[in-house]
Amino acid sequence: MRVVIVGGGNVGFTSAEALCRFHDVLVIEKDTAKADNIRSLLNVSVLMEDGSNPRVLRSAIDRIDAEVILSALSDDGLNLFIGMIAKRHKPGIKTVATLKDPDYGIETAAEGVEGIDVLISPEQITAEMIVRIALLDNVVQYDYLESRNAAFAVFKAYRDHDIVGRVVMELDVPPECSVVAVYRGDATLLDTETAQIRAGDRICVFGSPEAVEDFNRLMGIGREAKEYIIIGASPPGIAIAKALSQSGRRRFIKMIDRSEANCRNAAKVLSDVVIVHADIADPQVIRGENIDRADVIVSVSANDERNLLACMAGLRFGVRKIVSRYSSEEYEEIFKHTGVESIIGYHRIIANEITKKLIYDENAILRLDREGELFFSVGIDGRSKMVDRCLGDMRLPEGVRIAAIIRGHGTIYPRLNTIFLEGDEVLIFAHDVNRAKLARFLGRDAPAEL
């Protein structure tokens, strides 16, 4: 695939990084420092020009005979404009626009409108992920696979949970989900049926969003979260506050931001949220705004240092759930070092969306936070080693777990007595799997991402 990316900022760079391993990429970036950085770090071509100039855009598309153009500038209006100009020059090109402000969302080609084929909004995706984590008491990670209407969630087991001390096969696991792995310290257990849940385990569940909610209730809820503090009156912060306030339960929600303009804007759209104009970096604010009373802290400011400080304050006061995003990849290890489990990497969201929407959408690939882990799907034909066999009778390669089966228009979450049929699409969870052994089992090449 030949791709033109307009813009070499955070979104553009991460998109180029995700694509360039297996595809030809040309990045258009007018800033010298950004262009030089991309050229030195990535295996891509770089054109130092203004990508919003129609002449430059047409030249770049023709230069590599582009099949896809992805516009990742900071100006949402320009991203839409670039997609439309590209479509006018080459009607068959796939156009992708990234958005920050949901107000710029428009109908796409899938909805019968010419111009933009795919819209990617990392801000909106961040907000949706954080809302699910914040509302599901026991969830520390959450991702959604739109093409399969399925969610991947990681639950943390505490001592007061009903399932601690019980074996997974003895649990009343909702039928529309599978327990695909149990993380215990640095170890990953894939033989989940016989795993006994211990306090501190993280339980990975794949299933329908409704079944994930049911599993959350199955674990038990010690104390329902009622007080939320949101750091950052950014678009994601406003979207999160709005979703929490409209979730059907009574909650106290407070939003803190040091920008008066941001606070005024938030106050216009959030009538039942307390808006505080203050700087979380001020110790007096931390004490005066009762951070210690919060059940959940959500930090989504545009500044990684402030998000990190909010996490540290929450940890110090023993807040049970802390959710934070970080924008710069360099901060990933720092956030992980704090011990906060629910951290949302902006660059990971971008890379996952590019992977799902542009590279492997037909194979439903979802890259996970742990290195070497992903979901992918394969079709079963008459030559497959899985056809007409029962899951319990199969010897799967080490590191492989069957998560779901797509059969017709339905989804089956397999148990040991499930039989695989020709024509099934099988969704596989892979963890540090040997590509050669997996290829032999599948009877075809393993995904290049492994």
Q: How many Cβ atoms are within 10 Å of 205's Cβ, its own excluded?
A: 26
Q: Which amino acid is at 208?
A: S
Greater confidence, 371 or 422?
Answer: 422
Q: Which of 81, 95, 16, 32 is nearest to 53 (CA)?
A: 81
Q: What tokens appear for 114 in the block? A: 């010419």
- The per-residue pLDDT for range 219-253, each reduced to its tens digit, is 987 678 899 999 999 889 999 999 999 887 889 99
> For residues 195 and 181, what is the distance between their CA atoms, to the nearest angstrom?
9
Domain boundaries, the chain: 2-120, 138-219, 227-350, 371-442
Greater confidence, 336 or 209?
Answer: 209
Average pLDDT rounded to a whole number, residues 297-308? 92
| 2-120 shares its CATH topology with 138-219 | no
Q: Is the pLDDT of residue 446 over 80?
A: no
What is the average pLDDT score of the chain?
A: 89
Average pLDDT rounded to a whole number, residues 47-54? 95
pLDDT for residue 37: 94
Q: Which CATH architecture has domain 227-350?
A: 3-Layer(aba) Sandwich (3.40)
In CATH, the number for domain 371-442 is 3.30.70.1450
In CATH, the number for domain 138-219 is 3.30.70.1450
Q: Is the pLDDT of residue 38 over 90?
A: yes
For 2-120, which CATH superfamily applies?
NAD(P)-binding Rossmann-like Domain (3.40.50.720)
What is the pTM assigned to this prediction?
Answer: 0.86
Q: Is the pLDDT of residue 449 over 70?
A: no
Q: How many Cβ atoms are within 10 Å of 282's Cβ, its own excluded?
A: 12
> For residues 143 and 196, what is the distance between their CA atoms, to the nearest angstrom?
25
Band of pLDDT at residue 89, cut at 50, 70 and 90? very high
